Amino acid sequence: MGFRFLGIDHVQLAGPPGCELVARHFFGDILGWVELPKPEHLQRRGGLWFQCGSQQVHIGIQEDFVPASKAHPAFHVADLADFRAHVLQHGLEPIDDEPLPGADRFYLRDPFGNRLEFLEWQ
């Protein structure tokens, strides 16, 4: 077998039509992710792309949007306690869940209701 998986290149989250300004504020201004230019031929679809560590997160527009309330990406964070304080300062409410052995974690809902997990391995 000559192929091998190298990891995840990007995760796509969905948002409703016209969500770009709100997404830019949440993912760019609050989370601090850098917005990436979309290829010109994909710009007509709307949405945004962001860099998160070595991966990308794409926010795609979905006409019949329904938030992902169970399925979710999990983002590895250095100094999760500091990140928790940061999101609290921005009026966001972290959601604690069942303990995960060896990790601290919490969830947030993005402005569209998608579930996002943030964790730090000990």
Q: What is the CATH number of the domain that holds 45?
A: 3.10.180.10
Given this model, what pLDDT does residue 1 score? 84
Q: What is the pLDDT of residues 79-95, one digit of tens each?
A: 999 999 999 999 999 99
Task: Name the nearest CA neighbour of 14 among 51, 47, 50, 55.
Answer: 47
The residue ranges of the chain whose pLDDT is under 50 are none
Residue 5: inside a domain: no
Given this model, what pLDDT does residue 63 score? 96
Residue 77: inside a domain: yes
In the chain, the number of structural domains is: 1
Residue 2: inside a domain: no
Residue 49: inside a domain: yes
CB 43 within 8 A of CB 11: no
For the chain, give the longest Cα–Cα distance: 50
Residue 6: inside a domain: no
Residue 92: inside a domain: yes
Given the structure tokens 């795609």, which residue do they identify? 60
Residue 41: inside a domain: yes
Given this model, what pLDDT does residue 107 score? 98
Given this model, what pLDDT does residue 11 score? 96
- H runs (alpha helix) in 62-108: 80-89
Residue 84: inside a domain: yes
* Full residue range of the structural domain in which residue 49 is found: 11-121
